[in-house]
Structure 1
Amino acid sequence: MASAKETNLTLAPLRVAPASLPGFRVCLELLKPVTWFAAIWAFVCGAVSSGAPLAGRWPELLLGMVLAGPMVCGTSQAVNDWFDRHVDAINEPDRPIPSGRMPGRWGLYVALIWTALSLAVAVPLGRWGFGAAVFALLAAWAYSAPPLRLKRNGWWGNAAVALCYEGVPWFTGAAVMRGALPSAPVLWLALLYSFGAHGIMTLNDFKSVEGDRRSGIRSLPVQLGVAPAARLACVVMALPQLVVIGLMIAWDHRLAAFAVGLLLACQLGLMGRLLQRPRERAPWYNATGTTLYVIGMLVCAFALAGGGA
């Protein structure tokens, strides 16, 4: 059940445009193309890690990238913006829905239409691709929409997003390319990098602390405070990579282990600067440290492909 603060906020008036069809640019803004990269990258990592030859599989690869990014990730953004429209009225009032540029209830309609289209796109990818899409879409709605609204608690909400942005696309890419359940090493990497992405999601919450606090959303910066949440995020991002390094050594991928270790060392240096002013420097770290994090994902994916995993 939503808190009293969140319920009261939901009743606050918003600027609403006349009921008409939304423009293409407004719909595209609602789907947030800038967020698609993470899911597309994870899908490509999964496809590479499967070791399956890409020759003759380009249609599946391209369709999977569309499914992971514009479709499923785009759906999650539309769902989140609709159910967060009153929170965004505080944090980011210029977004399409609170600003009134998205007319009437079209924010919700776009989320529903994009959900249906995502399922249609997933059908040609077989039972593994379709099943993963169903799971990711259910998680997207559970994250933002009542009654679950997982985002009300940063522990559960960030875990759901991290899994759907990293683990599920990685799994999907490997499963679609192989047409079967991915190998244990592939599953371990998908899980570990999903765990680390929980810290990345925590950094993303720094931009909305005020609105979250006022609306009863208990993000980790709200629960723990900005500085402790930043330290936790750094630990959560670093620990899985240490485990990945150990696994790469155990699987006799020593060059990959060295590369991931070097990338992690650079991240640790950047984390020191982040922790000095975490709220102001979170976007900077996402552009630098997070980039090194995802490069490590691809390094490991190529290592598994080369080793026949």
Structure 2
Amino acid sequence: MTNNEVQTDTGSKTRQLLGMKGAASGETNIWKIRLQLMKPITWIPLIWGVVCGAASSGGYVWGLEDLLKAFTCMLLSGPLMAGYTQTLNDFYDREIDAINEPYRPIPSGAISVPQVVTQILVLLLSGLGISYLLDLWAGHEFPSMLCLTLLGAFLAYIYSAPPLKLKQNGWLGNYALGSSYIALPWCAGHALFGQLNWTIVWLTLFYSLAGLGIAVVNDFKSVEGDRQLGLKSLPVMFGVGTAAWICVLMIDLFQGGVALYLITIGQNLYATILLLLVIPQITFQDMYFLRDPLKNDVKYQASAQPFLVLGMLVVGLALGHSTL
């Protein structure tokens, strides 16, 4: 085997383990297969959302106890609940994955359906248990962490499972996904270290409309399979070109809307930084995504999303320094 073949094989196995596009079948280790189902690459935004929520609470203190609380909340939001969501989604997407991504564990036959169901239940029950323990640890009179986890589990179910299967609707499905990746972990981090209030809830739900745009990016890799199975993703409904413009406009405009809100509460410096972080996103949208969204979706995400997530932290810090 040549060096190039070795590098290609290694890269393929890494993508497979992380749950990324472009993997290959053939893995036999059951624990690696289970990890692949949980798509570790998707944990990062939720973990980051917890960080933003802790920042916006204004109550996080650099010390061992708060660090352990934050780490436990990241474990809840990322490996457990995101892992539950992704495994559940793969379970209900067996048919479409057989078309779009036949190397995935279930359509490839690498793991049985009963094993998948067991994994879903273990992840869900573990998440509910840890969320309740976090409520006790934080001294909450109302179990806000448990309620947020239940809400996340419910959204994950109706997103993937019939009869609702929100992912069949490009608008509802992508907003459910965007809010799960921004609003829910943000509210969890805020509730753990501060007092969750309606201002934070509504602001993060508004911010999630930018997350809807990010979620649409993931639809371009499965246009053909979605069309065959009648799923109404935005690229299927509006065509690839129009959907790409809808995607980038939502990403940019709703970040701009959050910046305007920061100005109204006197956080002008943070608002300026947020707007400056939107500029490179627009640049990469023009360089990659708008020119060929089918080819450059992954390249665009790798280039532009770091600026979006940095903007989220900027907003969190701004809220933490305000009177919210």
TM-score by length of 2: 0.85
Match of 2:41 among 9, 26, 34: 34
Give the counterpart letter for 1:306 in structure 2. H
**Whole-Å separation in 2 of the counterparts to 1:199 and 1:140:** 18
Q: How much has 1:22 moved relative to structure 2?
A: 7.5
Q: Is the CA contact 2:54–2:60 (under 8 Å) kept in the aligned structure 1?
A: no
Q: How much has 1:270 moved relative to structure 2?
A: 1.5
Higher relative contact order (CA 8 A, sep 6+): 1
Q: Which residue of 2 aligns with 1:140?
A: 156
Match of 2:57 among 39, 50, 54: 50
2:129 is aligned with 1:120: yes
**Whole-Å separation in 2 of the counterparts to 1:291 and 1:230:** 19
2:237 is aligned with 1:230: no
2:107 is aligned with 1:93: no
Q: Is the CA contact 1:49–1:305 (under 8 Å) kept in the aligned structure 2?
A: yes
Q: Is the CA contact 1:76–1:140 (under 8 Å) kept in the aligned structure 2?
A: yes
Provide the identity percentage: 37
**Whole-Å separation in 1 of the counterparts to 2:286 and 2:196:** 39
Q: How much has 1:183 moved relative to structure 2?
A: 6.2
Alignment of 1:249-288 (within 5 A): 249-273=263-287, 274-288=289-303
**Whole-Å separation in 2 of the counterparts to 1:173 and 1:228:** 36
Helix, strand or coil for the counterpart of 1:98?
Answer: helix
Q: Structure 1, residues 86-120: CA drift from partner, whole Å, max 9, x if none?
A: 10011000011111111243222211221111111
**Whole-Å separation in 1 of the counterparts to 2:198 and 2:168:** 34
Alignment of 1:138-287 (within 5 A): 138-178=154-194, 180-182=195-197, 184=199, 186-273=200-287, 274-287=289-302
Q: Mean alpha-carbon deviation: is it higher for 128-137 or for 253-262? A: 253-262
**Whole-Å separation in 1 of the counterparts to 2:291 and 2:196:** 44
Q: Is the CA contact 1:38–1:165 (under 8 Å) kept in the aligned structure 2?
A: yes
**Whole-Å separation in 2 of the counterparts to 1:239 and 1:36:** 25
Helix, strand or coil for the counterpart of 1:97?
Answer: helix
Q: Is the CA contact 1:81–1:107 (under 8 Å) kept in the aligned structure 2?
A: no
Q: How much has 1:193 moved relative to structure 2?
A: 2.0
Q: How much has 1:308 moved relative to structure 2?
A: 4.3
**Whole-Å separation in 2 of the counterparts to 1:142 and 1:22:** 31
Helix, strand or coil for the counterpart of 2:178?
Answer: helix
Helix, strand or coil for the counterpart of 1:112?
Answer: helix
Match of 2:313 among 295, 298, 305: 298
Q: Is the CA contact 1:68–1:169 (under 8 Å) kept in the aligned structure 2?
A: yes
Q: Structure 2: which 5+ runs fail to align?
A: 1-25, 136-142
Which segments of structure 1 move beyond 4 Å, counting only runs of 4 or more? none
Q: Is the CA contact 1:26–1:101 (under 8 Å) kept in the aligned structure 2?
A: yes
Give the counterpart letter for 1:150 in structure 2. L
**Whole-Å separation in 2 of the counterparts to 1:307 and 1:153:** 37
Q: Mean alpha-carbon deviation: is it higher for 114-123 or for 36-45? A: 114-123
2:87 is aligned with 1:78: yes
Change (3 A) 1:151 1:282: same
Q: Structure 1: which 5+ runs fail to align?
A: 1-16
Alignment of 1:15-26 (within 5 A): 23-26=30-33
Q: How much has 1:188 moved relative to structure 2?
A: 4.2
Give the counterpart letter for 2:155 in structure 1. A
Q: How much has 1:288 moved relative to structure 2?
A: 1.5
